[in-house]
Amino acid sequence: MAQDLPYANNQTDIAPDCCETSFIHEEAVRTVRERMPAPEVTQAVADFFRVMSDPTRMRILCALGQSELCVCDLAALLGMSESAVSHQLRTLRAARVVRTRREGRIVYYALDDHHVRTAYKMGEEHVLEVL
């Protein structure tokens, strides 16, 4: 029934996120279409954010944004087992979000580049602003 819906199907009760009429702004669509990246690029960006979508991995990225750390350091910092941290680091490394550096018997992890730090900081700033 129309009364059960948040909006009815008449002109005065249109959903706030929908246009009241169907009209395509052809020039705007053409301009944006020309600037859109290739589907492979948008897929790679989606994969990047998917890897970063885990709270534990975000905590690791936050820590590595402040200092280069080894698995033992991260495990102590996050209150997790070395095995669990290592598993998350493998995922981040496979996605080229973190890199390693060996010093003797110790492997240190760091953010792969400034883009990762920027992506994390922008997400954090947005969340803090919204909260």
pTM for the full predicted model: 0.78
Q: What share of the chain is helix, strand, coil (3-state, %, to 5)?
A: 55, 10, 35
Q: Quick check: 9 and 16 in contact, CB under 8 A? A: no
pLDDT of residue 21: 87
Can you tell me whether residue 124 is helix, strand or coil?
Answer: helix
- Domain boundaries along the sequence of the chain: 22-130
- pLDDT band per the 50, 70, 90 thresholds, residue 16: confident
Beta carbons of 112 and 99 less than 8 angstroms apart: yes
Architecture field, domain 22-130: Orthogonal Bundle (1.10)
| pLDDT per position as a tens digit, 54-100 | 999 999 999 999 999 999 999 999 999 999 999 999 999 999 999 99
Q: Does the pLDDT of residue 8 top 50, yes or no? A: no
